[in-house]
Amino acid sequence: MQKFHFFNFILFCLNYKKLDVVIKKIFIRINIFKKTIDKKNLINDLNKKKTSLENYMRKENYGLYKEAEQFSKSLKVKSSKKLKKIEYNLGGGGAYNLIYFLTRKIKPKIILETGVAAGYSSCAFLEAIHKNKIGKLFSSDFPYFRIPNPVKFIGILVDDKYKKNWKLFLDGDERNINKIKKNLKKKIDLIHYDSDKTYEGKKKFFKSINSLLKKNTFIIIDDIQDDNFFLEYINDNKKEFKIFKFNKKFLGLIY
């Protein structure tokens, strides 16, 4: 279990600009806002609708699939070496092979991600952007208030040479999205959502960025097994989708 540093938590609470974000995250942790769902039926439904991530990428573009797999292997080696030197658990990576693959395939100009942590997904986006020679990544996160000096660990896996195409915001999604909107001159081509895991948090986020979506914006949502948001969203908005199982969890792709 991650060691909790009470002193660092107090420092965060004393920062009035972040106190409301800290409180919300605590409520999320203890499931204050959790929506009751039939988890068994949800998992069964996702299993029926899922498709193979590997087969999807191979079918869409075999060359990019092989490139994405090679990138994933390199990132695993790199992250293992770097993170084993850190005493804190910064969390694992998601389906960064899919993130890299889609970025290379659709060559997005504007990418938005929520949830950075060590920076697995950020690495995937930024290396693919570098290969594409086009694109900007806007990332939203909030430091781990349970560990000391948390800001220095956010995106620690990202190489400095890629940071010129990266804008990182660290005041929590609600404040960050407002700032990102002011920075954007174009609508979003690709979104990766991996922050607030509550149904209400997802609903609020997608409502806030709705005006920035294009008809063909690609959206990746992690941990869709936690609630019914993904299935409701695709039904309400008549969206095409794919569901993949990754590391015993599910993620959804909307396109």
Q: Which tens digit of pLDDT belongs to each residue from 82-115?
A: 998 888 878 778 899 999 999 999 999 999 999 9
State pTM to two decimals: 0.87
Q: What is the pLDDT of residue 7?
A: 55
Confidence bin at 1 (pLDDT 50/70/90): very low
Residue 193 CA to its chain's centroid (Å)? 4
Q: What is the pLDDT of residue 21?
A: 60
Confidence bin at 19 (pLDDT 50/70/90): low
Q: Which tens digit of pLDDT belongs to each residue from 116-159?
A: 999 999 999 999 999 999 999 999 999 876 777 788 899 999 99
Other Cβ atoms closer than 10 A to 174: 17
6-254 — its CATH code? Answer: 3.40.50.150
Confidence bin at 56 (pLDDT 50/70/90): very high
203 has pLDDT over 70: yes
Q: What is the pLDDT of residue 17?
A: 58
Alpha helices in the chain (DSSP H): 6-14, 16-29, 39-49, 53-60, 62-83, 96-106, 120-132, 173-183, 199-208, 229-236
Q: What is the pLDDT of residue 112?
A: 98
Place of tokens 């070496």: 81
Q: Which tens digit of pLDDT belongs to each residue from 162-189?
A: 999 999 999 999 999 999 999 998 999 9
Q: Tell me if residue 205 falls in helix, strand or coil.
A: helix
Q: Cβ distance 173 to 205 under 8 Å?
A: yes
Residue 245 CA to its chain's centroid (Å)? 16
Confidence bin at 2 (pLDDT 50/70/90): very low
Q: For residues 110 and 181, give the distance between their C-alpha atoms in angstroms, rounded to a whole number.
A: 12
Query: What length does the chain have?
Result: 255
Q: Give phi and psi for 64, each to the nearest 5.
A: -70, -30
Higher pLDDT, 36 or 43: 43
Reading the block at residue 246, the tokens are: 């990754």
Other Cβ atoms closer than 10 A to 178: 12
Q: Cβ distance 121 to 94 under 8 Å?
A: yes
32 has pLDDT over 70: no
